[in-house]
A and B are shown apart, each in its own frame.
Chain A
């Protein structure tokens, strides 16, 4: 197992947001975490990325193991430096007043020495999202929502991490763009990138992922392969519209 989450409990101030999550992700998988608003999806991702309290919840119980080692004490920038995991945050968080190219360059902060890797990954990103190539010199603020999302994914790739976590990649995207995004992600997965995707749009997420967990008010209420979840009566009722 690449990533193991054991009995993870987190809180914001005094409010407990996750009440003991258990799940695991293996190399090369596409796993989805679905759930309604406030179920704790983003909290899970933020605690995995180890961001510090004002931005993320505090883990007070449980453990996060990456390749068998606890990363609870690892700082977020170290996670990226050691090429463990990259986060594509909700709302994209791209550097708005930098150009597309500059955004990608900034993501190579930790791997800068490795010119060959940077060049190869840059080519990969531009092949995957030809639109970004067209907009290379443009201020990233002026990109459309879909393009910004592509940039956020591209930026995560540039860090050299083989495990990418995406927070609501479909948010605010037109269906066409959304499918294009998932097609690109699937292609990345074929190249050996492990993906954890958090989604509110359960239908799309289950079509995309091979396995999933259903989150409700800070607990996992169902898990299994995408097909199993799709046929699960409770999940259907709650998230797939009966």
Chain B
């Protein structure tokens, strides 16, 4: 029976990538022609970054059922690594001197430095994951909070990256790219990395490996005695998740043009957690949806200034009261609306 099922899925054509491609293309085209203003573009970029953040945190907190709350720390690592590389390689700066490479190469090398930032963040994730093997639940939460604080204090005290004053100059790279060919690069790369991240997470969770990760959430002891290598799984899931957070950090740094350690404090980690729990643990479409809603909500409440930090927690409390499983629970959008699935997944026969 299972073999027929696999044959069937092979014959199905998935229209999701096409829909994403068209949607992203329209947004980028509108951005390039200036039909949507810079502010809206920035909001869209933040949505993209937040989608990466919440979806990647969902791998650990949702699918694997562990509680990590130091996502901001990994974002910081990715942001600083890719920013330093970017300033060092492509721009003229007071601290790091003349560009090492011709600035025009940034057009091709920009995604590379973002990915390097992600890789370094993944290594940082590895360093945090190893001591957390012997712990569970609350203890992992404590370790990750501690790691978040360590990363922030470390950068606060590193004078050559600006310490608590922050680090800037990444806009230079963006301008260098625009000098070659005028296009909304950041919008393009944010949407691309965002789609890639969601696609990767979806593939990972559908694979046998992903089933193993879910098994850890259901019952860790059982997973182990059903021949799932739980240590290995935790390690990979954690590295994967923090690597994606690093990518989000790199993009964030280049969108803002300025970063300081305080932007990646426990507050940022909390935002990521809020998005995961708002969307529902173990639901990828929930994470995406909640990141979109949360970002728009934050922007919409900007006129309320500090009062929004009264309203948003209040809304969370209400959400937990009336819908404790989050917007989607652990279901996907296509489970709730089977029609959507039928529309996007046509049989090619």
CB distance from B75 to the nearest CB of A (A): 29
Complex-state Cα separation, A112 to B224, whole angstroms: 16
Instruction: Indicate if A188 sits at the interface (CB-CB under 8 A).
Output: no
Q: CB-CB contacts of B214-227 with A at 8 A, as 1s and 0s?
A: 01001111101111
Q: Is the interface of B mostly helix, strand, loop or mixed?
A: helix
Q: Report the Cα distance A55→B222, complex, angstroms.
A: 11
Q: Which of B2, B136, B208, B219 contacts A109 (CB 8 A)?
A: B208
A97 touches B134 (CB 8 A): no
Q: B226 touches which one: A52, A75, A155 (CB < 8 A)?
A: A155
Residues in A neighbouring B219, C-beta threshold 8 A: 93-96
Taken together as a complex, chains A and B put the C-alpha atoms of A89 and B219 apart, in Å, by: 12
How far does the alpha carbon of A200 sit from the alpha carbon of B231 in the complex, in Å?
33
Is A220 interfacial (CB-CB < 8 Å)? Answer: no
Interface of A with B (CB < 8 Å)? 49, 51-55, 75-78, 80-81, 86-87, 89, 93-98, 106-107, 109-110, 112, 115, 155, 159
Q: Which 8 pairs, one residue from A and one from B, show the smallest C-beta to C-beta distance? A: A80-B227, A110-B227, A95-B218, A93-B222, A77-B229, A77-B227, A87-B225, A81-B227
A123 to chain B, nearest CB (A): 13
Residues of chain A within 8 A (CB-CB) of B225 are: 49, 51, 76-77, 80, 86-87, 89, 93
Interface residues, chain B, CB within 8 Å of chain A? 2-3, 133-136, 208, 211-212, 215, 218-222, 224-231
What are 28 residue pairs bridging A and B, where the CB atoms are less than 8 Å apart in the complex?
A: A49-B225, A51-B224, A51-B225, A52-B134, A53-B134, A54-B134, A54-B136, A76-B225, A77-B227, A77-B228, A80-B225, A80-B227, A86-B225, A93-B219, A93-B221, A94-B222, A96-B218, A96-B219, A98-B218, A107-B226, A109-B211, A109-B226, A110-B226, A110-B227, A112-B208, A115-B2, A155-B222, A159-B226
Q: A89-B225, A109-B208 are in contact. Are A54 and B3 (CB under 8 A)?
A: no
Supposing A54-B134, A112-B208, A115-B3 touch, asked if A89 and B224 sit within 8 A by C-beta, the answer is no
| Chain A proximity of B191: nearest CB distance (Å) | 34
Q: Kindly list chain A residues whose C-beta atoms are within 8 Å of the C-beta of B226.
A: 80, 106-107, 109-110, 155, 159
A77-B225, A95-B215, A106-B215 known; 12 new pairs, CB 8 Å cut-off, are A49-B225, A55-B221, A77-B227, A77-B229, A86-B225, A87-B225, A93-B221, A96-B218, A109-B208, A109-B226, A110-B227, A112-B208
CB pair A76–B208 under 8 Å, yes or no, is no
A109 touches B228 (CB 8 A): yes
Q: Which residues of B contact A109 (CB under 8 A)?
A: 208, 211-212, 215, 226-228
Known: A54-B136, A81-B227. A97 touches B218 (CB 8 A): yes
Residues of A within 8 A of B228 (CB): 77, 109
Report A119 CB to chain B, min CB distance, Å.
9
Which single residue of chain A is at the shortest CB-CB distance from B211? A106
Given contacts A77-B228, A80-B226, contact A51 B3 (CB under 8 A): no
Bound-state CA distance A93–B218 (Å) is 9
A108 to nearest B CB, angstroms? 9
Give the CA-CA distance A225 to B224 in the complex, in Å: 33
CB pair A75–B229 under 8 Å, yes or no, is yes
Residue from B219, B222, B228, B231 with most neighbouring chain A CB atoms (10 Å) = B222
Q: A54-B135, A109-B208, A112-B208 are in contact. Are A89 and B227 (CB under 8 A)?
A: no
* B222 pairs with A89, CB closer than 8 A: yes
Residue of B nearest to A112 (CB): B208
Determine the distance from Cα of A196 to Cα of B225 in the docked complex, in whole angstroms: 16
| Least CB distance, B144 to chain A, in whole angstroms | 17
Residues of the A chain whose Cβ atoms lie less than 8 Å from the Cβ of B211: 106, 109
* Docked-complex contact B230 and A77, CB < 8 angstroms: yes
Q: What is the chain B residue whose CB lies nearest that of A75? A: B229
How many Å lie between the Cα of A27 and that of B228 in the bound state?
26
User: Which chain A residues lie closer than 8 Å to B3 at the CB level?
Assistant: 115
Which A residues are in CB contact (< 8 Å) with B224?
A: 51, 55, 76-77
In the bound assembly, the distance between CA atoms of A95 and B4 in angstroms comes to: 26
